[in-house]
Amino acid sequence: MHMADALISPAVGGTMWAATATLIGYAAKKVQHTLDDRKVPLMGVLGAFIFAAQMINFTIPGTGSSGHLGGGMILAILLGPYAGFLTMASVLTIQALFFADGGLLALGCNIMNLGLFPCFLAYPFIYKPLVGQTPTRGRLIAGSVFAAIISLQLGAFSVVLETMLSGISELPFRTFVLLMQPIHLAIGVVEGIATAAVVLFIWQARPELLEHAGSVSQSSRSLKPVLIGLGLAAVLTAGALSWFASANPDGLEWAMFHTTGKEELETPGHSVYSSLSTLQEKTAILPGYNFKSAAGAGDAWPAVDAGTSAAGLIGGMCILLVATGIGFALKKSGRTKTLS
């Protein structure tokens, strides 16, 4: 559900950039004083895991479409909404800059669509009330599944609103929304199941992570086993499982094709679009998650490709360093302000 620049106007893109920057600033201030220091490395490892997981598109049977894990609910549940939002922003920024996945003008939209709804709406108003103060296996599954589905439905609807407000006449509201919501409902069910699986794994290994998500915890138990487990999962997913991604168009591309007959719209010739496109061409070291010289994997499946593996491992490492660095910097800044 990564939007390209062709789907939005400069006015909408700029507005969403401003809204995103404001929310990032707010989340950063909250993280300074609420996040447990021991969980800072978890920001990086989870970010790398979500990046790797997003590389794997799974087929939606009977539709000719595919979807991928958004991961916002996993981040919010394990890190709390503020650190979760910052981690998602890190993932999407690295994807746009280094892999040309999502436009730079649309980056604000993508961060809001994939970060705002799970972290600040679905997590506090759906997941937490359903799970309650005494989590059980059933409550965790219900909370994870329903929260993931609702957050993805809100994100998909937001995409439709953003294209409408941008005046994209090729994507009429009624037709586009009637395609976007059902396909992302199916994707949301899979995401909910995957979210529940990760949450149950953490609940069995370190239940205090769920009880004190995003807050200062008094637990002295080491997070090393969780960090190692998620780290190995990220490496395996990025380095090998990414070969098994579905070649079908994702939910957004599928909805666009059935609305316009094209999976991508032509980018307007406005100078804003051309300038940002030129910038992205320079920063994207592995566009499309492959070497620039690669001609594509063709129709082979699994698509065993060294370029894909390299992109996954490099991207995961970048996000590990960026998200962890942000966490440590914010915590250090918070302690400095407290002492002064």
Write the DSSP assignment of 266-321 as a string of letters: PPP--HHHHHHHHHHHHH-SSTTSS-TT----TT-SS---HHHHHHHHHHHHHHHH
The yes-or-no verdict on residue 210 having pLDDT over 90 is: no
SS3 37: helix
* Higher-confidence position of 306 and 302: 306
DSSP for 208-274, please give it: HHHHTTTS--------HHHHHHHHHHHHHHHHTGGGG---S-BHHHHHHHHHHS-SSPPPP--HHHH
The residues spanned by each domain of the chain are 5-339
User: Which amino acid would we find at residue 137?
Assistant: R
- Model-level pTM? 0.95
- Tell which CATH classification among 3.90.45.10, 1.10.10.10, 1.10.1760.20, 2.70.98.50 matches the domain 5-339: 1.10.1760.20
User: What H or E segment, with its residue span, contains residue 59?
Assistant: strand 58-60
Does the pLDDT of residue 288 top 90, yes or no? yes
Task: Summarize the confidence of residues 230-257 as an average pLDDT.
Answer: 96
Residue 148: count of CB within 10 angstroms of its CB: 31
pLDDT at 171: 96
Q: What pLDDT shows up at residue 222?
A: 78
Percent of the chain scored above 90 by pLDDT? 82
Q: Is the pLDDT of residue 91 over 60?
A: yes
Q: Which of 298, 316, 183 is nearest to 240 (CA)?
A: 316
Q: Which one has a higher pLDDT value, 108 or 206?
A: 108
Is 70 exceeded by the pLDDT of residue 219?
Answer: no
Please state the rounded mean pLDDT for residues 237-264. 95
pLDDT tens for each residue of 29-80: 999 988 888 889 999 999 999 999 999 999 999 999 999 999 999 999 999 9
Which has the minimum average pLDDT: 86-95, 204-213, 274-283? 204-213
pLDDT beyond 90 at 162:
yes
**Given a cut of 90, is residue 151 above it in pLDDT?**
yes
Q: Does 10 sit behind a cis peptide bond, omega within 30 degrees of 0 on the bond before it? A: no
How confident is the model over 145-166, as a mean pLDDT? 98
Q: How far apart are CA 255 and CA 67, in angstroms?
A: 12
